[in-house]
Structure formats: C-alpha cells, structure tokens
Amino acid sequence: MKAKSDLLAANRQDKAPAPAPSLQPSKRRATSRMPANERKAQILEKAFEFFSEYGLTAQTRALADACGVSQRLLYTVFPSKAALIEAVYEANIAGPFKAVWLEKLKDRKIPLEQRLLSFYREYYDGVLTRGWLRLFLYASLAEVEMAPAYITAVIKTLLDTIVEETAFDAGIALPAQLDLRQEIGWLLHGAISHLAIRRHVYRNSTSMDIDAVIRLHVSAYLAASPTLLTQKLD
C-alpha cells in the first residue's frame, strides 16, 4: 500500500491546506559554504521535517529546494534517496531513544509503577512527537522498513524488559513464550503510543492531561498483570 502523500498532507483541520511541494525548478539563492558536517546536519534536519509533512514518496528536488541547496549538492552529501532515508531513521527515529531508559526501568530500588510512569512520560515527550509519529506512519504506508527496523532494534528489548520487571514485581514466573511476553508488553506500550497518535495526529484531546492518562494506562496494565502473566498460549 503506497502513501498518498499529497492527500494526507492536505486538508488539515483549523488551518489552510498545506501547499504541495513544488516539483518545478525554482530560483534559489546561492548556496552558502559551510563545513561538511554542518551541511549534513542541516540536510538531515530539513529532510526529517520535509518527509514528516509530505511522506517518503515526495521527490528529492522539492526536498533540495526546502534545504536551500541544489539537487546535485544533496546527492553529493547523500548518494541516494535510500541513503538519506536511512540517515533520517538513525538520527530522528532510532536516535531519540535513550539507552539509559532501559537501565532505569531495571532499577528495582524504585517502585515499578513509578519507573513506568517516569519512562513513559519521558518517552511521550522525547520520542512520540508529531513529526516522529507522522514520519513513522508515512514510512509504514510506503512499505519502507523503518517501523520493522525500529521494533526489532528498540521495542522488542523494551517490551521484554517491562514484562520481566512486571513479573518480578508481581512474584510470578516470567512466561517462557517470547511471543506472549511481547504481546503483554504491547498492551501498555501500544496504549501509550496510540495516546500520542490521538493527540498529535488525530488531534483528539480531552480535558485530562497527559500525566493523568498515562497514569490511567499504567494502573490498568499493572492491575491486569497477574492474569496476563499466567496466560498460556495454545
């Protein structure tokens, strides 16, 4: 299923439709000189913003215009669109996740509920931003391997850590089946992720603030955990 970037980028609620990026050559000011590492960082920042708004099917000529560089210079820094997308993934999708979060989740000197609340508040603010979510969803619709890569590299370890700590806290043996552990972890992680999608993408808000909603999901997960951890796969 291919992303319909121009359709999804248009017709935003409460604001005029975002103009589709022009595919026609445009007059551009002379590109200023800057060190290679600064130029690369500039292009990555603009590429993240651009792909988040228009999707990964948008053309690199329009991206070059958005960056204020020529298409030739863009391909000097990144030899292909695939290389650019991979760099955006590393910097803006996988990059915001902090390894220290996993260590904090394992710190049994702190009550589990407090660890989960602290982690998901930071994860919500630091990772589940509007731009991150839009790019993640666009990549999935365009069948780019961004979401599977992130789930394999980051989320599977995160879910196993959360479920292992939940089982220890409940005094219940950790389920032997990896698939069951992953599904139990997704019950909480999926709820928080969808909360961010509702707020940032669907723009569906309620009078409850984020802290209160996260606490609601964490409380529900912990209350259900004894039943969840004793489930058996057929």
Q: Which domains does the chain have, with CATH numbers?
A: 5-92 (1.10.357.10), 97-229 (1.10.357)
Which residues in the chain come in under a pLDDT of 70? 1-32, 234
Cα–Cα distance, 87 to 90 (Å, whole number)? 5
- Contact between residue 205 and residue 14 where contact means Cβ atoms under 8 Å apart: no
Cα distance between residue 209 and residue 123, in whole Å: 16
- pLDDT score, position 17: 41
How far is the CA of 126 from the CAs of 49, 77, 95, 147, in angstroms? Answer: 16, 28, 10, 17
What is the pTM (predicted TM-score) of this model?
Answer: 0.83
pLDDT at 60: 83
The predicted structure's pLDDT at residue 24: 45
Q: Which helix H or strand E contains 109, and what residues bound it? A: none
Q: Which helix (H) or strand (E) holds 209?
A: none
Measure the CA–CA gap between 213 and 205, rounded to whole angstroms. Answer: 11
Q: What is the pLDDT of residue 10?
A: 39
- Of 169, 177, 171, 175, nearest to 218 by C-alpha is 169
What local confidence, expressed as pLDDT, does residue 201 receive?
95
* pLDDT, position 32: 64
How many angstroms separate the first and last alpha carbons of the chain? 32
Distance CA 83, CA 134 (A): 20
Give me the helices (H) in the chain, please.
Answer: 5-9, 36-54, 60-67, 71-77, 81-88, 99-105, 112-126, 130-141, 146-150, 156-170, 178-200, 210-229
Q: Looking at residue 1, what is its pLDDT?
A: 40
